[in-house]
Chains A and B, each alone.
Chain A
Amino acid sequence: MKQVKASSGFAKKVLLIGWDAADWKVINPLLDAGKMPALNKFINEGVMGNIATLEPVLSPMLWTSIATGKYADKHGILGFTEPDPTTGGVRAVSGTSRKVKALWNMFTQVGLKSNVIGWWPSHPAEPINGVCVSNHYQRASRPIDQPWPMMRGTVHPKNLQEEFAALRIHPGELTEAHVKPFIPKLAEIDQEEDKRLEMFMKILADTATIQSAATWTMENTEWDFMGVYFDGIDHFSHGFMKYHPPKLPIISPKDFEIYKDVVQGGYIFHDMMLERLLELAGEDTTVILVSDHGFHSDHLRPLALPKEPAGPAYEHRPYGIFCMKGPNIKKDELIYGATLLDVAPTVLTMMGLPVGEDMDGKPLIQAFEKPVQITKIPSWEAVEGESGMHEEEQIEDPIAAKEALDQLVELGYIDKPDANLEKARETAVREAKYNLARCYMGSERYVKAIEILEALAKEFPDESRFTIRLASCYKSTGEYGPAREMVQRTKLLFEKEAEKLRKEKEEKGQKVPDSAMEFPTLDIIEGTILLEENKPKKALELFRKAKVSAPSAPNLFLYLGRSFVLLKKWKEGEEAFRNAIKADKDKASAHHGLAICLLRQNKLEEAVEESLTAIGLNFNFPVAHYHLGEALYKLGAYQNAAEAFEACLKQNPTIGKARNHLIEMYEKQLAKPASNSMYEDVDLTELVEQTAEKRIEEQKELIKQKSLGTITIVSGLPRSGTSMMMQMLERGGMEIFTDKKREADEDNPKGYYEHELVRNTMRNKKWVKDVGDKAVKVISHLLFHLPSRYQYKVIFMKRDLGEVMLSQNKMLVNNNKAKEGVYRAGVEAAYRKNLTKVEKWVEKNHNVEVLYVDYSDAVHNPEKVALEVKKFLNLDLNTKEMSAVADAKLYRNRTN
């Protein structure tokens, strides 16, 4: 693609403000108390909602996803540090590692003016059409009485360097007047010993510096887009959230009294800055305020952080804030379903520019008052012309740069960096790889994650975080054996660590409790593997065991609840999910689990309420929409139920059950015109019926389009001719899904055509994805357990029940499992029932098409049956070969 031209969007200008780590949980009480008036006005004039973060929750990766609309594997920013190819050591992550265009590069290409202030990472400043002040701008590295030079490459254009240098605020410049609003008991701090005040002043000065640069740029330049990033809330939170009320038991009363207002003060200060930015932006500017993640501020604050790089990220909460106001933006409304990836596509759409098809997010059209046409191009990366990105030779893959450096060392062209530098570089590369793996995990690309994690686990065999994540990936891909191996390997590592600690303690004469050698985390992981395998009883045992030693382990109640759901123990499940909600009321999956348990106990209103809460917390939750639909359907609220099912299908078009419900409702409930129509002179009946019919057809068509593929199944009761039909298909030219483990015998001289995995369908359905174009034999009792995400063509063999019983009896006799002519009581009735159930299943499931084939017919009129099968499957089958299969001699057990 050569060029993209700017067209007129509904946003004249866009101001994108980033508040790192801002969280509604802290903001809401402040709004209620009238302490954040600017934000309060903002949200009244626009939309607000949660925004889901991405994995891993590391800010430089996240802000780059916000600016590009892409996952980290595409944009290339993989952590806080990167190898420095010039020194052989490590440096802070830089903008030159970003491989793709950010919003300001796209705007540069269409002639729009952008200003970017402090974005992380944006150093060195990019030569865009506008002003770029990099993220190294605000840091004061020396005392106030020493020179404070600006790092090279901090400001674009260079002629503004001096101007911006003068706008920086040094922490040493701040006075008591600046500190007291945050720390009223400032006088009680021993400043020689306590370095927290110094840290606080640095954060405040850095934040005020960004505000200073942003306001100057807004006032003194022409701009179409402005991105301003503040890291103050994140830094205040990492430093002082532990002192935020309510007081944590580990915090001393004195520290609490001194520092308890810092976080609140930080938010209030940001509100004051927001007021100024909004004033400068003016009413006609579209303003977006976003955070990249939240921050635990309540009982979920971790009391200790893991000893690993980026350990503080465990304090982050998975939901940030999102607010937007401006022309054509809804007013005073909540929006759902936003993710960080949606910001860039939304900004582009509002500016009348196309969204790249290679972007991973979508425009947040639910925030727009009037519908907007979304235009797309394959990729902005293919758009030619000056984008303001660094020269290609400056853009580098830090891992590749490290490899290249290593090679040069090996070849003797450069000296080996000193041991510390080398170690730091190794660490940076290891973390980048690990973060990439976590990015793949977060976007459900487990195979790619496994590839990286396996290499890491091999290279760093003592790091349990790699083996734990590997176990999780293997579980997600259905590789339960390797998943268990990883759990065992992790256990050995834990034991080694615990043994080391035990020795240390014993040397000091301290007693070590027996529980030190128990590892509830591993019991929980093992339990989740069992849940995947549909073995809830065994899983429950492990979760109960873990509950004894770690009752507050994350997600434990959630897993207990899931076990009860699989066991259909709704009351126990309800209790477990209520406990999970007590531990964290913002856990969408706990509310959803509770909704299921309530639904199954017919507590429908409550089920609706819990489903809605789950959806409110996480809108992109198709199964929660489904269960909301189910509860509303049972309550007779058909229109609302239909909307819920439609929302479910919009998010996951392969959930066949939702479509079945929808079709049923269109056919039965929603097709009827209102009984007391006020438009009596107009015959609406036909119109409504036509509409309903059209929608039914549309939905049926969608089932075909959205299914994961069509599976050909041969089914029927055992001994009803299923093997014969399989043989016919094979001879006709179809491939067969069989493991050939069950060999031909006297009862089935031509073979069984079965697959062992199919017999385990009730527990594990994963084999279905491997069937492809082959034909698979599934006995009638297992049909109901087939996943609804596929389209099924079922050739169902029907045979006289008496003959089936006779043939089965003969087979049991041959295997010495029954006496001739002696039948188990009730079996025939159960089979009859099963056949009725199959008919109902076929009728109800619109993803199932069936061809009933009479066994006797297949034996006596094979040509006719072969033709019917060929037509039904719409395949080029060799009917002559198929007909040759039928062997009347094998039709041995007849009742007449």
Chain B
Amino acid sequence: MKNKSDEIQLMDKDGKPVEIPVEGSIGLLALGHIGLLAWRKKRKEVADEASKGK
């Protein structure tokens, strides 16, 4: 079984990548798993950045 969400990047109506807020949003939750995974990915990126900076 293939997990399609691995390949998906969130785009807006104009086809531009969506900026994911690190604090999340109900819009992302409403999108379901792709919103959730995108938000968690963003959190991880920010956390990694923060730990690098330490």
Contacts and interface: CB of A to CB of B under 8 A. Distances in A.
Given A219-B5, A221-B1, A208 B23 contact: no
A220 B31 CA distance: 15
Contact of A177 (B1, B25, B34): B25
B28 to A, nearest CB: 9
Given A219-B5, A221-B1, A177 B33 contact: no
Interface string B23-43: 111110111111010000000
B54 interface: no
B52 interface: no
Contact of A176 (B5, B23, B27, B32): B23
Interface string A131-156: 00000000000000000000000000
Nearest to A160: B1
Given A169-B36, A212-B32, A272-B30, A220 B1 contact: yes
A215 B23 contact: no
A9 B5 CA distance: 31
Contacts of A275: 30
Nearest to A275: B30
Given A212-B33, A215-B31, A276-B31, A220 B24 contact: no
Nearest to B36: A212
A255 interface: no
Interface in A173-202: 174-178, 181
B33 A272 contact: no
Contact of A178 (B25, B31, B33): B25
Interface in B5-37: 5, 21, 23-27, 29-34, 36
Contacts of B24: 174-175, 177-178
Interface residues of A, number: 26
Interface string A250-272: 00000000000000000001001
A216 interface: yes
A469 B33 CA distance: 47
A221 to B, nearest CB: 7
Contacts of B23: 175-177
A16 interface: no
A167 B30 contact: no
A208 B33 contact: no
Nearest to B32: A215
Interface in A185-241: 204, 208, 211-216, 219-221
Contacts of B2: 220
Give the one of B3, B4, B31, B34 with max A CB within 10 A: B31
B4 A220 contact: yes
Interface residues of B, number: 18
B29 A208 contact: yes
Interface string A812-829: 000000000000000000
B29 A181 contact: no
Nearest to A270: B30
Given A177-B23, A178-B29, A208 B36 contact: yes
A606 interface: no
A386 interface: no
Contacts of B21: 177
A220 to B, nearest CB: 6
A163 interface: yes
A273 interface: yes
A214 B32 CA distance: 8
A200 to B, nearest CB: 12
A204 B33 CA distance: 15
Contacts of B25: 177-178
Contacts of A212: 29, 32-33, 36
A272 B1 contact: no
B26 A269 contact: yes
Contacts of A175: 23-24
Nearest to A268: B26
Contacts of B1: 160, 220-221
B32 A276 contact: yes
A163 B26 CA distance: 22
A275 B4 CA distance: 19
Contacts of A178: 24-26, 29
B36 to A, nearest CB: 5
Given A176-B23, A177-B21, A177-B23, A211 B30 contact: yes
Contacts of A208: 29-30, 36
Contact of A276 (B3, B4, B5, B30): B30
Contact of B27 (A167, A169, A174, A272): A272
Contact of B33 (A181, A213, A269): A213
Interface in A38-78: none
B33 A216 contact: yes
B21 to A, nearest CB: 7
A167 B31 contact: no
B23 to A, nearest CB: 4
A869 B36 CA distance: 83
A216 B37 CA distance: 11
A219 B30 contact: no
A216 B30 contact: no
A215 B33 contact: yes
Nearest to B34: A215
Contacts of A167: 33, 36
Contacts of B34: 215, 219
A520 B21 CA distance: 58
Contacts of A177: 21, 23-26
A272 B3 contact: no
B4 A211 contact: no
A273 B36 CA distance: 13
A279 to B, nearest CB: 9
Contacts of B3: 163, 216, 220
Nearest to A219: B4
Contacts of B33: 167, 212-213, 215-216, 219
A430 to B, nearest CB: 40
A169 B29 contact: yes
Give the one of B3, B24, B25, B33 with max A CB within 10 A: B33
A755 B34 CA distance: 77
A842 B5 CA distance: 75
A378 B3 CA distance: 41
22 contacts: A167-B33, A175-B23, A175-B24, A178-B24, A178-B26, A178-B29, A208-B30, A212-B32, A215-B34, A216-B3, A219-B5, A219-B33, A220-B2, A220-B3, A220-B5, A269-B30, A272-B27, A272-B30, A273-B32, A275-B30, A276-B30, A276-B31
Interface of B: 1-5, 21, 23-27, 29-34, 36
Interface of A: 160, 163, 167, 169, 174-178, 181, 204, 208, 211-216, 219-221, 269, 272-273, 275-276
Given A208-B36, A212-B32, A212-B36, 16 more contacts: A160-B1, A175-B24, A178-B25, A181-B26, A204-B29, A211-B30, A215-B33, A216-B3, A216-B32, A219-B5, A220-B1, A220-B3, A220-B4, A269-B29, A269-B30, A273-B32
